[in-house]
Structure 1
Amino acid sequence: MALLNLLLVVLALLFVAFLGYCLYIKRSHMKYDHIPGPPRDSFFLGHAETFLRITKKDGNVHDKFLEWAEIYGPVYRVNAAHIVFVCVYCPETTKEVLMSPKYLKDNFVHNRAFKLFGERFLGDGLVTAIDHNLWFKQRRIMDPAFSTAYLRGLMGTFNEQAEKLMNKLSEMADSKTDANMHNLVNCVTLDVITKVAFGEDLNLLNNSSPFPKAIETCLKGMVFNFRDVFFQYNPVNWPFVNEVRKACRLLRTTGAQWINKRRLAMRNGEDPPKDILTQIIKCFDKEENTTQEDEEIMLDNFVTFFIAGQETTANQLAFCIMELGRNPDVLEKVKAEVDEVIGMKQDLSYEDLGKLTYLTQVLKETLRMYATAPGTSREVLEDKVINGIKVPGGLTYIFSSYVASRMDKFFKDPLKFDPDRFHPDAPKPYYCYYPFSLGPRSCLGLNFAQMEAKVVMAKLLQRFDFDLVPGQTFDILDTGTLRPKSGVVCTVTHRKYKK
């Protein structure tokens, strides 16, 4: 009898909790439903079913955000259970929020990226840290490793690693083997970040490694962790969940090994390479009262740079090659510039990169159409009026460079690949193009990534002709970052120069 009474009490408490949750969701609807937005899929899950449906079909969720922006305007509401997000594509609000340090990263993104299915992933690293003081401390530590003077000294490594790709492509051209350009540039950018940042030589173009698969698995896991809060509790998903956990452990264990190896060398008086890892360790060792959490944050940043330092650049390069293959007039123009600036030189200098103005435009236009890191978010605590709509405080604002850059109100004929949009004399886009985010939380590795991309593209254009293999799709694969679904498969031939 006592057990039955206890069961009844538990059921009553669960019913009260359920009823309270329903009322909480209803209150949220009443408070925010004056903001335009698409119809919800359900009372409880909001629009989550739409996102999951697209994700499970390997679709691009950001195209749905673009569709809604065209229908509902520059500010609209999205629901996920009791959570409400506001998508904002108003340049004035984008400027106000992203350019100010007072608007912090939001808790939802932080919590979903901090751990993946119980394994620490990005933690409190530079990208995910919410606390401004914690973020500022890390940024101050990282900044010297990305100074212009330091990056100029990396040109030798950029050239060396890009040359390995040229050798691989030469072999493929000679053997008439089709080249999956995304796979190839993915190997190069991972080789670059491990060599430049951590002093490790993986040589992925010639060696197998578990790292590319681990990165892909973690990113895919992060997508499901964001879009399905119940994902890890479904037994059907447990094999994949275990893969994600194993991949997270591999990256963090590798980071700990490389950091400890470098620290030991430094303590033994060895002259360490002047790379990013050495700079980070030196700066951390200068800090007083270093804690275990500081050590974890160093690993958070290792994982952040390990992934972000190669993934988005590889995707940009692959999309760039894809669009050049689809636009032969642009391809011929950028080839002519490369021929004029670098001629037959094997190693590019930092000064050469500054002269490749049209290639710079091509790379910027690539990021306009394919913002490989599509957007960012901030928590806004105060009430605002956006485009005449009162938006109560306490909401997370979502900003998407992918969506804004594909809206015809900001870019005429937005699906046309037109590098002249970024001609030095063309008007600058007003807070509707921000593939590296904006303001104090903008991407620290922007200059690093674009230097690397220019070196790889310039060498490729200098040495080879390439044609897209017919029949492949030009669709976008949404894996947290955006990548070309087909891999950009090309036939590659040696360039024939006129005598």
Structure 2
Amino acid sequence: MDVWQSILTCLYWATVWLLIGLLCFVLAYLCYIHYTHLKFDHIPGPPRDRYGTLSTGFLFGHGPSIQKSMEDFNLIHEKFLEWSERYGPVVRLNVLHHVSVFVTDPEAVKEFLMSSKYPKDPYTYDLLFTLFGKRFLGRGLLTDTNHRHWYMQRRVMDPSFSHSHLVGFMDVFNEKAEHLMEKFGEMADGETPVGIHSMLNSVTLEVILMVAFGMQLNLLDGAESPFPRAISMTLKGISRYVQNPYMQYMPQHRKFVKEVWDSLELLRSTGRQCIKERKRAVANGEDVPKDILTSILKIAEQEGECDDGLMLDNFVTFFIAGQETTANLIAFIIMELTRQPEIATKLQAEVDEAVGLKRDVTADDIGRLQYMNQVIKETLRLYPPGPGTSRWLSEEMVIEGIKIPGGVSVIFNTYVMGRTVKFFDDPLTFDPERFNLNAPKPYYCYFPFALGPRSCLGQVFAQLEAKVILCKFLQRFHFQLVPGQTYEILDIGTLRPRDGVICTLTARPESSKG
């Protein structure tokens, strides 16, 4: 009896001390949150959220408002635009103990993005190292927050993504784009609804796999492939994961998380096998495709920077970003042109003059497409597939007269700045003349591919591919949006047209091929 009494007494006191310890932890955490409020609350920002008469803002900050704005993959950036217009160029955002500063000041954009002094924000980018506990983008180019380590990677990658190197793949761009036009032509009766975005996703995936990894898919011919769904699920997983990194522990989300895990495993296992086989072939002196992977492996070997883990992280990044963002850009252009007939006509006239009825578009042809450049830039202003980036401020700084303490994430958003009247007159009007060669250049308020040393590695690739596809599409077809379609944006980490740009196509009489 004494033994049981002793055990119960021990359990009792263990429970008491556990509860006391837990209470002390909670109190310490609340004190820390209060400290962050004292440290940052001089910065303008929206009131913290309330639930009825109960204030939850002390703990959750603006988290509930942000999460609500992201439901059903809605556009959180419109909320950021609203806050920046109301509270100014420096806006404080609180979520639990974490504070971010949302900045729409061109001088700050210049300072942070054009310098290597400010690393990428580890809170945001370290989050993407894994996806629901499984390695995702790891320490690849997109997510590496260590500048020295990132620079070593970029030095290896840069030559393979230079304009001079990518021009060598114009035959692939033309071949895949021509195949897409043939499929469009089969449905160009003026009545059949054509899912433009879906088919663009297929062709851009075929292009990135062929040009980067020497892999051949035939998605446009109806070949079954798990890759499109895997990419879509992974992107949805990113969006949900950023909202709630702990979803994997919640039973109601188990099915979704398992689908994301399976999709991620498919991408990484495919990359792992591809890299392994190519390294073996290169080492044995076998004939290998002259693609980006071969180029990177050879340069990495020369530089002594051949790390299989990093190669795989970047494989997944290229696989997703190289397909998704280019397809979204072209889809947004076509979507916008359906309500801009004068711009569409002018663009088609330029293509007719520069390319004519030629089957293959050359690099010289693309160099003559000045108005197309303007249309692409204006589309990226209103619909940037990658809307923003963030940097880490380690030391105190003054932005727009406001003291920003060190130890904070600084968020920059090209979507918001591109739609701000302070930087662009009549910002919601689609006007390619903003980017006429004689027009003043936007001063650090336009950065769809970021700026400075960490600007997007794939921007030349994306624009070359987009121009080839657009040339052929405008060369061959008139197009109209199917009634009932909207111009709304879907936010799944990248921005894409919500309704898929469902169009009817009609062949241009002057484009018929002999």
TM range (shorter): over 0.9
Is this contact kept in 2: 1:221–1:241, CA < 8 A?
A: yes
Q: Which amino acid aligns with 2:274?
A: W
The aligned residue for residue 202 of structure 1 is: 217
Please say which of residues 262-271 and 146-155 is displaced more in the overlay.
262-271
The whole-number CA distance in structure 1 between the counterparts of 2:252 and 2:390 is: 31
Is this contact kept in 1: 2:162–2:460, CA < 8 A?
A: no
The aligned residue for residue 269 of structure 1 is: 285
Please say which of residues 374-383 and 46-55 is displaced more in the overlay.
46-55
The whole-number CA distance in structure 1 between the counterparts of 2:414 and 2:351 is: 29
Structure 1 residues 379 and 289, CA, compared in 2 at 3 Å: closer, same or farther? closer
The whole-number CA distance in structure 1 between the counterparts of 2:506 and 2:284 is: 49
The aligned residue for residue 6 of structure 2 is: none
Q: Which amino acid aligns with 1:376?
A: T
SS in 1 for 2:287: coil
The whole-number CA distance in structure 2 between the counterparts of 1:288 and 1:405 is: 42
The whole-number CA distance in structure 2 between the counterparts of 1:93 and 1:421 is: 23
Identity between Structure 1 and Structure 2 (%) = 54
Q: Which amino acid aligns with 1:124?
A: R
The aligned residue for residue 100 of structure 1 is: 115
Following superposition, the deviation at residue 299 of structure 1 comes to 0.5
The aligned residue for residue 410 of structure 1 is: 423
Following superposition, the deviation at residue 233 of structure 1 comes to 2.4
The whole-number CA distance in structure 1 between the counterparts of 2:163 and 2:468 is: 16
Q: How many corresponding residue pairs?
A: 496
The aligned residue for residue 64 of structure 2 is: 49
Counterpart among 70, 76, 81 of residue 66 in structure 1: 81
Following superposition, the deviation at residue 3 of structure 1 comes to 1.0
The aligned residue for residue 11 of structure 2 is: 3
Structure 1 residues 375 and 464, CA, compared in 2 at 3 Å: closer, same or farther? same
The aligned residue for residue 300 of structure 2 is: 284
Following superposition, the deviation at residue 289 of structure 1 comes to 8.0
The whole-number CA distance in structure 2 between the counterparts of 1:287 and 1:342 is: 41
Following superposition, the deviation at residue 56 of structure 1 comes to 2.0
The aligned residue for residue 266 of structure 2 is: 250
Following superposition, the deviation at residue 399 of structure 1 comes to 0.3
1:121 aligns with 2:119: no
Following superposition, the deviation at residue 84 of structure 1 comes to 0.3
Following superposition, the deviation at residue 398 of structure 1 comes to 0.3
Following superposition, the deviation at residue 111 of structure 1 comes to 2.0
The aligned residue for residue 316 of structure 1 is: 329
The whole-number CA distance in structure 2 between the counterparts of 1:352 and 1:143 is: 25
Q: Which amino acid aligns with 2:119?
A: L
Structure 1 residues 19 and 455, CA, compared in 2 at 3 Å: closer, same or farther? same
The aligned residue for residue 4 of structure 2 is: none
Q: Which amino acid aligns with 2:292?
A: I
Counterpart among 166, 175, 196 of residue 160 in structure 1: 175
The aligned residue for residue 299 of structure 1 is: 312
The aligned residue for residue 397 of structure 1 is: 410
The aligned residue for residue 27 of structure 2 is: 19
The whole-number CA distance in structure 2 between the counterparts of 1:48 and 1:202 is: 42
Counterpart among 390, 399, 409 of residue 377 in structure 1: 390
The whole-number CA distance in structure 2 between the counterparts of 1:66 and 1:306 is: 31
SS in 1 for 2:412: strand
Please say which of residues 473-482 and 208-217 is displaced more in the overlay.
208-217
Following superposition, the deviation at residue 231 of structure 1 comes to 2.5
Please say which of residues 430-439 and 377-386 is displaced more in the overlay.
377-386
Please say which of residues 318-327 and 264-273 is displaced more in the overlay.
264-273
Counterpart among 328, 342, 362 of residue 329 in structure 1: 342
The whole-number CA distance in structure 2 between the counterparts of 1:36 and 1:452 is: 43
Structure 1 residues 397 and 486, CA, compared in 2 at 3 Å: closer, same or farther? same
Following superposition, the deviation at residue 230 of structure 1 comes to 3.1
1:88 aligns with 2:96: no
The whole-number CA distance in structure 1 between the counterparts of 2:180 and 2:358 is: 16
The aligned residue for residue 39 of structure 1 is: 47
The whole-number CA distance in structure 2 between the counterparts of 1:85 and 1:73 is: 15
The aligned residue for residue 214 of structure 1 is: 230
Structure 1 residues 339 and 437, CA, compared in 2 at 3 Å: closer, same or farther? same
The aligned residue for residue 450 of structure 2 is: 437
| Aligned CA-pair RMSD | 1.4
The whole-number CA distance in structure 1 between the counterparts of 2:511 and 2:270 is: 49
SS in 2 for 1:377: strand
SS in 2 for 1:36: coil
Q: Which amino acid aligns with 1:379?
A: W
Please say which of residues 478-487 and 214-223 is displaced more in the overlay.
214-223
Larger Rg: 2
The whole-number CA distance in structure 2 between the counterparts of 1:170 and 1:50 is: 46
Following superposition, the deviation at residue 435 of structure 1 comes to 0.1
Task: Show CA shifts across 1:434-465 (max 9, x none).
Answer: 00000000001111110110000010000111
Following superposition, the deviation at residue 240 of structure 1 comes to 0.7
Following superposition, the deviation at residue 268 of structure 1 comes to 2.8
The aligned residue for residue 475 of structure 1 is: 488
The whole-number CA distance in structure 1 between the counterparts of 2:286 and 2:182 is: 33
The whole-number CA distance in structure 1 between the counterparts of 2:350 and 2:224 is: 36
SS in 1 for 2:503: strand
The aligned residue for residue 112 of structure 1 is: 127
Q: Which amino acid aligns with 1:212?
A: P
Please say which of residues 237-246 and 122-131 is displaced more in the overlay.
237-246
The whole-number CA distance in structure 2 between the counterparts of 1:174 and 1:104 is: 52
The whole-number CA distance in structure 1 between the counterparts of 2:372 and 2:64 is: 41
Is this contact kept in 1: 2:476–2:511, CA < 8 A?
A: no
Please say which of residues 84-93 and 169-178 is displaced more in the overlay.
169-178
Following superposition, the deviation at residue 285 of structure 1 comes to 2.6
Please say which of residues 280-289 and 331-340 is displaced more in the overlay.
280-289
1:359 aligns with 2:372: yes
The aligned residue for residue 156 of structure 2 is: 141
Task: Show CA shifts across 1:96-131 (max 9, x none).
Answer: 110000100111112210000111010000010011
The whole-number CA distance in structure 2 between the counterparts of 1:198 and 1:147 is: 17
Is this contact kept in 1: 2:132–2:245, CA < 8 A?
A: no
The aligned residue for residue 54 of structure 2 is: none
